[in-house]
Amino acid sequence: MLYLIRHGETDWNREGRLQGRRDISLNPTGRRQAAESARRLAGVVPPAALASVAFVASPLVRARETMELLRATLGLTPEAYAVDARLAELSFGRWEGLTWPEIRAADPAGATARDRSTWTHTPPGGESYVDLADRLERWCETLAGDAVVVSHGGVTRALLVLFGSMTASEACRFNVPQNRVCVVGEGWAEWR
């Protein structure tokens, strides 16, 4: 079982900027969302069972901050979790830091190509969802049991496809919430 949690809000989320691999910290709303995610997780995983669940986060600061706030809210040692680089967000390359209107103005052909095939399109200097799914498939092979994963919207979408919970087309259109827990098993997912 995976318990997927997207990092809390950042100022770039609020502005609609693509963060990708940029290291952006949580804003006050994001910190509140991390605590809310912890309360939701506690409603899904009994406190006594938390000791047997692995906790792993993306190396990006917004995911690590979310994980540490989540663990502190649960009464766990904030820093006692693993970090795995394969859980880092999809790279948007040269588009990072831009909003979609800015991308459409600066690179209309690239934006149109991505609209036509979001799953397979590779932004300039970035990676496609296919690349991300390949990276995450290798990570999934290392799982030894249930895990709480704090990562990103793109990572969540790709994992939902890998676990058969969504098609690639559905995942590309799915807006991943920042204060919820997605419980994922083989072929199903449920948001709490």
Contact predicate 87/56, CB 8 Å: yes
Catalytic residues, which ones? 7, 89
125 is in an annotated binding site: no
Segments in 50-149 forming alpha helices (H): 61-73, 100-106, 108-116, 129-140
Q: How far is CA 105 from CA 15, 35, 49, 59, in A?
A: 17, 38, 50, 31
How many domains are contained in the chain? 1
Domain containing 163 equals: 2-191
152 is in an annotated binding site: no
Which pLDDT does position 47 carry in this prediction? 81
d(CA 192, CA 183): 8
Which pLDDT does position 48 carry in this prediction? 84
- Of residues 79 and 50, which shows the higher confidence score? 79
Contact predicate 82/148, CB 8 Å: no
13 is in an annotated binding site: yes
Percent of the chain with pLDDT over 70: 100
173 is in an annotated binding site: no
d(CA 189, CA 153): 15
In this prediction, residues 144-159 reach a mean pLDDT of 97
Which pLDDT does position 130 carry in this prediction? 98
Look up the CATH number of the domain holding residue 30: 3.40.50.1240
In this prediction, residues 9-16 reach a mean pLDDT of 98
Which pLDDT does position 46 carry in this prediction? 85
Question: Global pTM?
Answer: 0.96
Which pLDDT does position 146 carry in this prediction? 94
The pLDDT tens digits for 52-103 are 999 999 999 999 999 999 999 999 999 999 999 999 999 999 999 999 999 9
